[in-house]
């Protein structure tokens, strides 16, 4: 089609829509009364958010390359510039909660509010409905187990903004011929359908041995593989599209709006809605798993949707289980940069500001920290997982800073009478246990495996640990 033809066609379509719209009784989707969907580059969207916040300049992020002059800090002696964490159990009015009832009624909602407002953003109250359609069903051996795999598409109602389509991609697997509903692990997939199968050319993500599906099938579990990018793109340019763009009718975010971590979590919640309708899955025992950016998403999902019964939070680093206040490896200034800010609420950018209408802010000004995100998961079983730098689970992730957050989260678990790591609450002095030494006797668990940037080597440990935790609340066999 020539440019002129295209122009003529467009003019025809536009004028006819306008004309039909004026006919009495014809209600056309309000498409033509909506402003056009905004198309920003990532740099433009990032800049727009800085403008909304009155930020003139951000501090630059650190480099992961130790040869660069602005490389990240890896000196433990300099790693704790803000050694005191925001108090976990002290409410804003100064009272200290001592019971789970007080935690649930008062302190937990305060922490939720701060995370929503400042860190990960708010999910709009009226998110559209999702209709799950089965696209395909097949059976086959996964390892030694005969599994039925169903491919689904979750179509998001887009009547509010018909030019934005969101179709959530999900694949669920269940053992054939099993009468009892099965516990299930939902996994955010890094590499399409194959990610849990770990066929990837990125060596750090690979792990030898059986695939996660094989491990889960053998253990009598089901699985649900979720494609995060089908919910929300993994970049700033995508923020006016996907589920975030759809709810904003194609307009840029406001500072408290949700970022991609929450959007992916929202998608996981909708996938859990589906599992609740399928009696083959034990929807009271669904865990959530993710690695790296999806490890952050898994933790956020678990923290906010209390229906998830367990989490395997793998190699989540900054924005996940790592303390923002730690100056080691990746920093707040990386998360506020244009490559990562879309994971967070716009408001989070304030904490990277060098020059702004409000002066400047840094990690020490963040009103909450990662230990409180972990604490929101209490008392549900939460397993914090890492690998080792030698195999590609980089120091950048700050394993020690994540261990400190896990230690500091323990008091919230204990309010419920839940067992924790079996170490003191002193995050200033507690050091990570040796590699391959799991702290797996409690509801809050930690294990650093000797593999790379993957949850793989910890998955068998997770399954065994989760089975023990779930044992008290097993479902009955179907009559």
Q: Closest separation between CB of residue 243 and ligand GCU, Å?
A: 20
Contacts of 13 (CB under 8 A, 6+ apart): none
Q: Closest separation between CB of residue 165 and ligand GCU, Å?
A: 26
Write out the two tokens for 359. 């002066």
372 is an interface residue for ligand GCU by CB under 6 A: no
DSSP string, 299-366: HHHHHH-TT--EEEEES--BTTTB-TT--SSS-HHHHTSTTTGGGS-GGGGGGGEEEETTB---GGG-
Question: H helices then E strands: how many in the chain?
Answer: 12, 11
451 is an interface residue for ligand GCU by CB under 6 A: no
Nearer to ligand GCU, 108 or 391 (CB): 391
Q: Closest separation between CB of residue 115 and ligand GCU, Å?
A: 18
Contact pattern from residue 29 through residue 58 relative to ligand GCU, giving x for each residue in contact according to CB under 6 A and a dash for the rest = ------------------------------
Closest to 200 in 3D by CA, of 185, 188, 189: 189
Of 299-318, binders to ligand GCU (CB under 6 A) are 317-318
Closest to 314 in 3D by CA, of 332, 331, 336, 297: 297
Nearer to ligand GCU, 22 or 67 (CB): 67
Q: Closest separation between CB of residue 191 and ligand GCU, Å?
A: 11
Q: Closest separation between CB of residue 197 and ligand GCU, Å?
A: 18
Nearer to ligand GCU, 447 or 453 (CB): 453
Q: Is the peptide bond before 417 cis (omega within 30 degrees of 0)?
A: no
Q: Closest separation between CB of residue 295 and ligand GCU, Å?
A: 7
SS3 189: coil
Of 263-302, binders to ligand GCU (CB under 6 A) are 292-293
SS3 281: strand
The footprint of ligand GCU on this chain (CB under 6 A) covers a number of residues equal to 6
Nearer to ligand GCU, 85 or 331 (CB): 331
Nearer to ligand GCU, 246 or 344 (CB): 344
Helix 293-304 crosses helix 260-277 at what angle (to 10 degrees)?
60
Contacts of 211 (CB under 8 A, 6+ apart): 142, 196, 197, 198
Asked whether 438 and 188 are in contact (CB, 8 A), the reply is no
Asked whether 152 and 132 are in contact (CB, 8 A), the reply is yes
Q: Closest separation between CB of residue 292 and ligand GCU, Å?
A: 3
Asked whether 450 and 391 are in contact (CB, 8 A), the reply is yes
Residues 330, 333, 369, 393: which binds ligand GCU (CB under 6 A)? Answer: 330
Q: Closest separation between CB of residue 110 and ligand GCU, Å?
A: 27
326 is an interface residue for ligand GCU by CB under 6 A: no
Nearer to ligand GCU, 281 or 383 (CB): 383
Nearer to ligand GCU, 240 or 292 (CB): 292
Nearer to ligand GCU, 392 or 475 (CB): 392
Q: Closest separation between CB of residue 26 and ligand GCU, Å?
A: 48
Nearer to ligand GCU, 54 or 60 (CB): 60
Nearer to ligand GCU, 130 or 298 (CB): 298
Q: Closest separation between CB of residue 395 and ligand GCU, Å?
A: 11
Phi, psi of 154 (to 5 degrees): -100, 105
Distance, C-alpha 347 to centroid of its chain: 18
- Please calculate the CA angle 51-358-343 and round it to the nearest 5 degrees: 50
Closest to 478 in 3D by CA, of 78, 239, 179, 102: 179
Residue reference for tokens 């109250």: 125
Q: Closest separation between CB of residue 473 and ligand GCU, Å?
A: 32
Of 331-360, binders to ligand GCU (CB under 6 A) are 334
- Please calculate the CA angle 432-298-431 and round it to the nearest 5 degrees: 5
SS3 207: coil
Nearer to ligand GCU, 234 or 365 (CB): 234
The dihedral formed by the CA atoms of 438, 440, 443 and 446, expressed in degrees to the nearest 10: 0
Binding site for ligand GCU (CB under 6 A): 292-293, 317-318, 330, 334
């Amino acid at each position: 089609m020539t440019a002129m033809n295209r122009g003529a066609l467009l003019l025809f379509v536009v004028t006819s829509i306008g004309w039909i719209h004026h006919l009495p009784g014809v209600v056309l989707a309000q498409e033509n009364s909506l402003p056009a969907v905004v198309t920003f580059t990532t740099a433009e969207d990032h800049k727009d958010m800085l403008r909304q916040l009155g930020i003139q300049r951000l501090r630059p992020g650190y480099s992961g390359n130790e040869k660069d002059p602005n490389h990240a800090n890896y000196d433990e002696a300099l790693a704790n510039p803000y050694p005191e964490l925001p108090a976990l159990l002290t409410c804003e009015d100064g009272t200290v909660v001592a019971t789970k009832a007080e935690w649930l009624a008062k302190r937990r909602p305060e922490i939720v509010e701060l995370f929503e407002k400042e860190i990960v953003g708010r999910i709009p109250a009226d998110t559209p409905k999702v209709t799950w359609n089965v696209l395909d069903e097949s059976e086959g051996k996964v390892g030694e187990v005969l599994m039925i795999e169903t491919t689904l598409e979750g179509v998001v109602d887009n009547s509010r903004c018909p030019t934005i389509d969101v179709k959530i991609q999900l694949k669920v697997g269940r053992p054939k011929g099993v009468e009892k509903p099965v516990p299930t692990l939902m996994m955010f997939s890094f590499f399409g359908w194959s990610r849990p199968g770990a066929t990837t050319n990125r060596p750090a993500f690979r792990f030898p041995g059986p695939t996660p599906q094989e491990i889960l099938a053998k253990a009598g579990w089901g699985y649900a593989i979720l494609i995060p990018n089908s919910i929300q793109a993994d970049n700033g340019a995508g923020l006016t599209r996907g589920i975030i763009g759809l709810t904003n009718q194609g307009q840029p975010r406001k500072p408290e709006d949700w970022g991609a971590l929450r959007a992916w979590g929202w998608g996981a919640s909708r996938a859990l809605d589906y599992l609740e309708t399928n009696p083959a899955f034990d929807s009271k025992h669904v865990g959530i798993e993710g690695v790296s950016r999806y490890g952050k998403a898994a933790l956020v999902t678990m923290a906010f949707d209390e229906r998830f019964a367990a989490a395997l939070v793998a190699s989540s680093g900054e924005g996940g289980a790592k303390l923002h206040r730690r100056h080691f490896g990746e920093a707040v200034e990386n998360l506020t940069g244009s490559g990562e800010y879309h994971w967070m609420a716009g408001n989070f950018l304030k904490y990277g500001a060098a020059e702004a209408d409000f002066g400047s802010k840094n990690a020490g000004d963040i009103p909450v920290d990662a230990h409180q995100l972990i604490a929101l998961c209490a008392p549900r079983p939460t397993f914090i997982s890492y690998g080792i730098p030698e195999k590609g689970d980089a120091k950048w992730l700050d394993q020690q800073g994540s261990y400190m957050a896990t230690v500091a989260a323990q008091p919230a678990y204990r309010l419920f009478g839940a067992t924790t790591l079996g170490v003191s609450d002193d995050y200033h002095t507690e050091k990570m246990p040796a590699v391959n030494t799991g702290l797996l006797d409690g509801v809050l668990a930690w294990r650093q495996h000797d593999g790379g940037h993957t949850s793989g080597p910890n998955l068998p440990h997770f399954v065994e640990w989760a089975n023990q935790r779930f044992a008290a609340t097993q479902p009955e066999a179907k009559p």
